[in-house]
Structure 1
């Protein structure tokens, strides 16, 4: 199987794509990764669209997309463009087209780029199950190609670029009948249109494979690159995006998991972050994701290529979990190591499979990934402080209550917690502290590589040991292989972090090591926003490949801070850890909202409606609710949702169970109540508990 989908799995190299001219701002080739977003104002509101576009450009947008659902909106793009140019704004405009070839053909004569969705451009999505013969399938493809051909010819004549943008949720009935609801179906949907473009000698094409499910999205982009190469097609630029990512922290984490994973491997030429917020808020997030790679190649340390021999020394003693994570100056340098080879990659990059591990206590095996939280910097710990790790103490009841974001492990370092921890929370201490305390059975030690190599005493059930790629020598691997109590805490100090940790996982897989692994990332001198995006990329990218049985995040030891600030930091990292696991679809701990970012088609206030639905339903652990502003972004884009709330007219809502419409025209004022009634019918609804505010008496 050819597993090649990027220039290198161990060295940061950006994929060299074909340059596509979009107005005066080319994409792909050696150009920077571009930032874009989409207006939310009604396209017929010329001045409103212009003003919002100017705000978006000021926020960092290099391309601006505007919906054109019908011919009248497509025509009004000319007025918007004229006014923008009159005001001195030359930003390239992109027309967003669904269902309406006539609108696309008109818009292509006006704007610099058109976006078409092959799932609903001259194809159909009626959720019908149709059995196609080879002949009937080919005939349908020919019909669609003939309907698409005029647009290609117009774009070539006018020098207009095109994005062929497949969305996971809007695959046509025809594609679903042959390929199913799969990344391969997404890729083939785009390739049908792309092949016609090449037949017409038209190459100003950008491709996208967007989904709200990050696993599907990443697999589809990887498969697309592999298929382009396999078929000898041009290396077209890639537009990256997680569609319907949502709002606030969840939307940012989910976007970073999907987009960041691809950027790590050098894929992507433009980024759009889809948040249920004003479009001006999207560009800074996209730019923050992109900027991380500006100097990545220069900052990265060499990573042992796949296939290199194991001949590394053990890392020296003295690693610290408390500062910038366990560090070592011992690192292999290679001058004649073999290059990455597909045969040496022990995972399938196009399909999710979790790494098989032995179960150690509640880690590995079939257990969900666990969250460990570092509280070792706290000088003292009281009952109420555990609220920051999701365990709430009630003095009135004299007991703890764990919420859905309750950490599984607490790392207290050299200062064990001075009271009994609640059920469900286990304590991890430094090896020296474990020995000094008399080797307590209710404490689990964490050892450096040197301590572990020479340890005479270990816990009978569970021992954590720090490792990085450099320390995974043949003797170290043998010791791990024979120890049924060992769980690895895997870390790196390399700027090219995710690929190095992934490379370490490959070492474990290729050597048959089945010990569970906790992914440890530390972030010095970053803003909370950067920590959020970087951690979601580094950890999420590994989880998407089935790598990792837990996560522990830390920030660098900062100057003296008040205890309340430390607790706030701990709380943020705990929530971030659970958010990453959820975004990667590996541990569902809260309600998931698949909400579109709004556009000129939206029939209600998305931000207000999402907040209202969240207030009523945010206690429904693991339930996925799609909130879509129009029928275009309705049953298709919320493909993974359990329930859907979709605008179908002014003040009218359609309610869905999965992709089946249950109620077609519900008054907006009654829609949330009826959505809850639908959940009750299915046995998915539970009343929100009133949790007493935890206090210490």
Structure 2
């Protein structure tokens, strides 16, 4: 299998794409990565659209997308454009088209770019299961060609660019029948339309593969690049986005996991962060994601090649020989991936206590920098102490382990929480069974090291993975590795460590450990979600430990705030990467001119009633365009179908078609109750300390 999807898995190199001119602001090629967003005002509200566009541009938006669901909205794009130009704003405009070829053909004469969704544009989307023969499939493609060709010819004539934007949740019945609801289906949906463009010698095309599921989204973009190369097609620029990411921290973390993973490998020419917030809030987040790579190539340290040879049974191992002689027995290209980048598979590991195997990734909260530790301080690890009841209550974001370093906790821990200490502290305390030691490489590789009989942690990085250590780890069953790095190009370096373990046949579980500053919490949130989420997306990682760089000299409350923030962030990253569901997930679209209710207000209202439902996924969609399709991943859906009217879904099936908005949340809850998914919120007998 050809696994190549990016210029390098170790060096930061941007994929060199074809330059596409969009007004006066070209995309792709050697141009910077661009930022875009979408208006939420009704497109028929000319002045409202203009004012919002100006605010978006002020916030850093370089392209502005405006919905044009019908001919009348497409026509009004001209008035919006005129008023913007009159006010001195030359931002390129993009018409967002779904079902209406006539609207697209009109808009293409007015704006700088049109976006079409191949799953909706001139294709059938009736959620029908149809068996297509090769001839009937080809006949459908011919029918689409005849509907699509006029738009291509108009774009070519007017110098208008086009984005062919596939959405995971809105694949056509035809594509679903042949490829299923898969990344390959998404890619093929776009390639069909792209081939039609090339038949007309039209190349001003941008491609996107959006999904709410970050694993699917990343796999689809990678596969798209691989297929373009394989078919000898142009290296078209990529528009990156996680669709329906949601709001607040969850939306930002989810966006970073998906978008950041691709940016790390040099993919992407423009970014849109889709938040259920005012559109001017999106551009700054996109810019923070992009800015990490402005100087990445010159700031990153080279990532080394791990050399090893598997030992031969009954003989002195070549690994030992190589270690003594200082020679490399096996040189491995750092860009030779041992995993399938187009399909999720969690790395095979053996179980060590509750790490690895079939266990969910564990969260370790680092409390070692606290100068003192009391009952109430465990709230920062999600374990809440009630002095009135003299007992702990664990929240849904309760850490599995705490690391206390040289100072073990002086009191009994709550049930379900375990403690890690340094190897020295463990020995000094008499090798207590309830403490688990963290060893350095030197202490582990010493002759006859003293180890806990069940679980030990070994701190390591890529540079320490030499042949001798790899050979020893192949037979070790009591150790969990704690992987860290100081490289600016962090995710790729840690990924290479995982690759080395896989190639050497080491199945020890691995915890990913990263230290960050909380001086800029918003940036740190995105950085951590990218660095760790990018590994989890590929099935790499059995635990996460995010640590503050604050020293014990800082006041206790500042340290606790940082620790609490990192504990919550850890669970958020695991959820966004779809590797551990610990809270309710809201798949909510960013508002646009099609929205039939106040999305932000409605999302907040639904969250208030349902945020205790661990692992339940609720789709909140402003209109039927983004309804059943974009909620493909949701357990339940709340979709606007008319003014004051809501449709409620169970998965892809509509259950109630026109519920009055004032009753819709109650009826959504009743639907969950019928399915046995509803539980009442617990009422605490007394507020917990802190």
SS of the aligned residue for 1:412 comes to strand
Q: How does 1:475-554 map to 2 (within 5 A)?
A: 475-524=468-517, 526-554=519-547
Tell me whether 1:123 sits opposite 2:123 in the alignment.
yes
Aligned counterpart, 1:579? 572
Q: How does 1:58-137 map to 2 (within 5 A)?
A: 58-137=58-137
Q: How does 1:170-569 map to 2 (within 5 A)?
A: 170-305=170-305, 309-310=307-308, 339-341=333-335, 344-454=336-446, 456-524=449-517, 526-558=519-551, 560-569=553-562
Q: CA deviation at 1:694?
A: 4.6
Q: Deviations over 1:606-646 (max 9, x none)?
A: 00000000000000000000000000010001110000000
SS of the aligned residue for 2:25 comes to coil
Q: How does 1:606-621 map to 2 (within 5 A)?
A: 606-621=599-614
* 8 Å Cα contact 1:394/1:692 also seen in 2: no
* 8 Å Cα contact 1:393/1:694 also seen in 2: no
Could you tell me how far apart the structure 2 residues matched to 1:398 and 1:559 are? 28
Aligned-residue Cα RMSD (Å) equals 1.6
SS of the aligned residue for 2:121 comes to coil
SS of the aligned residue for 2:398 comes to coil
Q: CA deviation at 1:474?
A: 0.9
Q: CA deviation at 1:32?
A: 0.2
Could you tell me how far apart the structure 2 residues matched to 1:623 and 1:80 are? 41
Task: Pick which of 386-395 and 145-154 moved more.
Answer: 386-395
Q: CA deviation at 1:225?
A: 0.2
Any unmatched runs of 5+ in structure 2? 310-325
Could you tell me how far apart the structure 1 residues matched to 2:64 and 2:436 are? 53
* 8 Å Cα contact 1:63/1:92 also seen in 2: yes
Q: CA deviation at 1:379?
A: 1.2
Could you tell me how far apart the structure 2 residues matched to 1:345 and 1:32 are? 28
SS of the aligned residue for 1:464 comes to strand
**Change beyond 3 A, Cα 1:595–1:696:** closer
SS of the aligned residue for 1:446 comes to strand
* 8 Å Cα contact 1:304/1:333 also seen in 2: no
* 8 Å Cα contact 1:214/1:583 also seen in 2: yes
Could you tell me how far apart the structure 2 residues matched to 1:185 and 1:639 are? 14
**Change beyond 3 A, Cα 1:567–1:189:** same
Q: CA deviation at 1:561?
A: 2.7
Could you tell me how far apart the structure 2 residues matched to 1:88 and 1:160 are? 21
SS of the aligned residue for 1:417 comes to coil
Could you tell me how far apart the structure 1 residues matched to 2:36 and 2:607 are? 28
Could you tell me how far apart the structure 2 residues matched to 1:127 and 1:693 are? 50
TM-score normalized by the length of structure 2: 0.96
Q: CA deviation at 1:368?
A: 0.2
SS of the aligned residue for 2:371 comes to coil
Q: CA deviation at 1:555?
A: 2.2
* 8 Å Cα contact 2:252/2:285 also seen in 1: yes
Q: CA deviation at 1:338?
A: 6.3
Q: CA deviation at 1:482?
A: 2.4
SS of the aligned residue for 1:688 comes to coil
Q: Deviations over 1:368-398 (max 9, x none)?
A: 0000000111111111111111111222332
Q: Deviations over 1:9-35 (max 9, x none)?
A: 111100000000000000000000000
SS of the aligned residue for 1:406 comes to coil
SS of the aligned residue for 1:553 comes to strand
Aligned counterpart, 1:151? 151
Aligned counterpart, 1:323? none
Q: CA deviation at 1:557?
A: 2.5
Q: Deviations over 1:533-572 (max 9, x none)?
A: 0000010010010000000001213584321221111111
Q: Deviations over 1:296-333 (max 9, x none)?
A: 0001111124xx5249xxxxxxxxxxxxxxxxxxxx99
SS of the aligned residue for 2:104 comes to helix
Aligned counterpart, 2:142? 142
Q: CA deviation at 1:695?
A: 4.1
SS of the aligned residue for 1:48 comes to helix
SS of the aligned residue for 1:165 comes to strand
* 8 Å Cα contact 1:229/1:235 also seen in 2: yes
Could you tell me how far apart the structure 1 residues matched to 2:427 and 2:82 are? 75
Could you tell me how far apart the structure 1 residues matched to 2:202 and 2:688 are? 67
Runs of 4+ in 1 over 6 A off after TM superposition: none
Q: CA deviation at 1:251?
A: 0.2
Could you tell me how far apart the structure 1 residues matched to 2:468 and 2:331 are? 21
* 8 Å Cα contact 2:584/2:616 also seen in 1: yes
* 8 Å Cα contact 2:473/2:508 also seen in 1: yes
* 8 Å Cα contact 2:515/2:547 also seen in 1: yes
Could you tell me how far apart the structure 2 residues matched to 1:569 and 1:525 are? 7
Task: Pick which of 686-695 and 483-492 moved more.
Answer: 686-695
Q: Which of 611, 619, 623 lines up with 1:626 in the alignment?
A: 619
Tell me whether 1:681 sits opposite 2:674 in the alignment.
yes
Aligned counterpart, 1:329? none
Q: Deviations over 1:659-694 (max 9, x none)?
A: 111101000000000000111111111111112345
Task: Pick which of 176-185 and 431-440 moved more.
Answer: 431-440
SS of the aligned residue for 2:571 comes to helix
* 8 Å Cα contact 2:308/2:504 also seen in 1: no
Q: CA deviation at 1:525?
A: 6.6
Any unmatched runs of 5+ in structure 1? 312-331
Q: Deviations over 1:54-79 (max 9, x none)?
A: 00000000000000000000000000
Could you tell me how far apart the structure 1 residues matched to 2:146 and 2:656 are? 36
* 8 Å Cα contact 2:241/2:255 also seen in 1: yes
Q: Deviations over 1:34-65 (max 9, x none)?
A: 00000000000000000000000000000000
Could you tell me how far apart the structure 2 residues matched to 1:60 and 1:273 are? 12
Could you tell me how far apart the structure 2 residues matched to 1:39 and 1:160 are? 20
